[in-house]
Amino acid sequence: MGKRSRGRERLRAPSSDYADADGNVLTLRGSLTPGARLQYAQALAGSGARAAATQEDAWQRAVELLFEHLAVRWMIAGAPIERQRELLARLRAASPQERAWVRATLREHCAEHFPDVHAP
């Protein structure tokens, strides 16, 4: 490790915890880069590198993309999920009620932290 990197702390965006009725807690990041915002907008519009076949596909991809960029941790039944790949896999395996709660949580989080981002 070089002299320059000693003593420096890596900046971390603040995060917010959201609990559901069952006590599961989703932790979301409080920052969203301009590149991530652009990717999300393109996914929601159904354009970009991974263009969607239908508006429903675009909407689902946009939800997953926003979740991917914002989710830091999801504590379910006392078991934490923290790796990005595992978080996304858990979202894809979620029940319709869980997915609805995640979407509502993303909307709430974006309204508070990113008013310029239209959450699905």
- 42-83 confidence digits (pLDDT tens): 888 877 655 556 778 888 889 999 999 999 999 999 999 999
Distance CA 91, CA 62 (A): 13
* Residue 29: band (very low, low, confident or very high) from pLDDT cuts 50, 70, 90: very high
Which helix (H) or strand (E) covers residue 63, if one does? helix 55-70
CA 66 vs. chain centroid, Å, equals: 4
Distance CA 65, CA 84 (A): 11
Q: Coil, strand, or helix at residue 10?
A: coil
pTM for the whole thing? Answer: 0.82
Q: Coil, strand, or helix at residue 94?
A: coil
Q: Coil, strand, or helix at residue 15?
A: strand
Average pLDDT taken over every residue of the chain: 87
Give residue 83's pLDDT.
96
Does residue 98 contact residue 18 with C-beta atoms inside 8 Å? Answer: no
